[in-house]
Amino acid sequence: MPSPFDLVAALRPDGHIRVIAPSSPFPREDFARGVARLRERYRVSFADDLFEARGYLAGDDARRLAELRDALTDPDVDAIVAARGGYGATRLLDALTPEEVRASPKLLVGFSDVTALHALWARAGLRSIHGPMVAALGRAEPAWVERWIAAVEGGPVAAATGLDTIHPGEAEGPLVGGNLAVLAALVGTPYAPPLDDAILFLEDVGEAPYRVDRMLTTLRQAGWLARVRGVALGSFTACDPRADGRTVEAVLRDRLADLGVPVAAGVGAGHAPEDGEVPLGATAQLDATRGSLRFVENAVEARRAG
């Protein structure tokens, strides 16, 4: 099944990365280490006001919006990588259109709150990479950085295997989604990603099981889960049970097992330190019976031999 989302250009050695902070402020030490690692292979730039902070936001909306627009319209920029997540990217969606993104298609890399921008890229008909951001790369093991480089440069996408079956079956479709909390916040807005015939990917961090239940119930009641061909679950990190003892694993099974589509858990993508990259918009094959998620395509152009 060919994906309805277009490939974006792969990042090449000496390519130009523009770092943006569309969400929350971030630790400068981790950021500096991440930039240093990226500069061993790429050109890296960022705005002088990247480090601004306004409470839980990395500067006001005007600053963050201008930064993203500059990255989109600069013809020398090859890829846009977020500094970190947090909160704030959804506040920019009112001022951005899919046409703007489509007019200058560039690779977007990030996760967590950047899910809002991944949804914008998907609405523009473009693929993107759900994966570690600059501050996280500053803390990452060298092998994880190499894996990130392979992903953005169009190397083979490793299959996720050994997944836990929640509902058996097989499905194929473009992988769409990201952070559950951000996606639930897009319900009822015009900014939700296209979901028809997709494999929905979900992950989250620091959410009590009852909150995960609430958000999944929101997706169900909004009709989102009736439109997808399958559900692939990533890491649900630090989603510890409260006094009632109900686990997030029990909630995921309770809210998703009766959808009538393949559902599997354990994809290594999300907020765990070792989590890697998944190509959003690329065609994926979910085999929930045997516990695997394989990618027929990448998010970026395939790496050329030699």
The C-alpha atoms of residue 95 and residue 73 are separated, in whole angstroms, by 15
Catalytic entry in 203, 207, 277, 297:
203
**Which residues does residue 237 pair with via DSSP β-bridges, in sequence order?**
205
Q: What is the pLDDT of residue 303?
A: 61
User: What would the DSSP string read from start to end of 120-153?
Assistant: HHHHTTB-EEE---HHHHHHS-HHHHHHHHHHHT
- Do 81 and 133 belong together in one domain? yes
- Do 173 and 116 belong together in one domain? no
What CATH number corresponds to the domain at position 178? 3.50.30.60
Is 203 annotated as catalytic? Answer: yes
Residues 99-132 have pLDDT tens digits of 999 999 999 999 999 999 999 999 999 999 999 9
- Do 145 and 253 belong together in one domain? no
The C-alpha atoms of residue 16 and residue 79 are separated, in whole angstroms, by 7
Q: Does a structural domain hold residue 306?
A: no
Residue 44 in this model has a pLDDT that exceeds 90: yes
What backbone torsions phi and psi does residue 181 show, to the nearest 5 degrees? -60, -40
Q: Does a structural domain hold residue 301?
A: no
Q: Does a structural domain hold residue 7?
A: no
Q: Which residue has the higher pLDDT, 97 or 156?
A: 97
What backbone torsions phi and psi does residue 177 show, to the nearest 5 degrees? 135, -140
In the structure, what pLDDT confidence band is assigned to residue 241 with cuts at 50, 70 and 90? confident
Burial 45-63 (b: 16+ CB within 10 A, else e): ebbeebebeeeebbbeeeb
Domain hosting residue 45, numbered range: 16-152
> Which of 135, 152, 169 lies at the terminal end of a domain, its last residue?
152
Catalytic entry in 128, 271, 277, 297:
271
Q: What is the pLDDT of residue 306?
A: 46
The arrangement of strands across the sheet holding 199-205 comes to 160-161, 292-295, 283-287, 170-179, 199-205, 230-237, 263-265, 164-167
> Which of 117, 135, 152 lies at the terminal end of a domain, its last residue?
152
- Do 201 and 228 belong together in one domain? yes
- Do 56 and 98 belong together in one domain? yes
Taking the alpha carbons at both ends of the chain, their separation in whole angstroms is: 29
In the structure, what pLDDT confidence band is assigned to residue 94 with cuts at 50, 70 and 90? very high
- Do 31 and 64 belong together in one domain? yes
Cα-atom radius of gyration of the chain, to the nearest Å? 18
Q: State both tokens at 192.
A: 């939700």
In the structure, what pLDDT confidence band is assigned to residue 304 with cuts at 50, 70 and 90? low
Count up the domains in the chain and report the number: 2
Residue 266 in this model has a pLDDT that exceeds 50: yes
What CATH number corresponds to the domain at position 22? 3.40.50.10740
Q: Are 258 and 225 in contact (CB under 8 A)?
A: no
> Which of 115, 134, 152 lies at the terminal end of a domain, its last residue?
152
- Do 58 and 86 belong together in one domain? yes
Q: What is the pLDDT of residue 251?
A: 97
Catalytic entry in 23, 24, 112, 235:
112
Instruction: Give the residue from 117, 118, 32, 18 showing the smallest Cα distance to 70.
Output: 18
Residue 187 in this model has a pLDDT that exceeds 50: yes
Q: Are 153 and 303 in contact (CB under 8 A)?
A: yes
Task: Determine the angle formed by the axes of helices 248-256 and 209-221, rounding to 10 degrees.
Answer: 20
Report, as an integer, the average pLDDT of 1-9: 90
Is 112 annotated as catalytic? Answer: yes
Is 130 annotated as catalytic? Answer: no
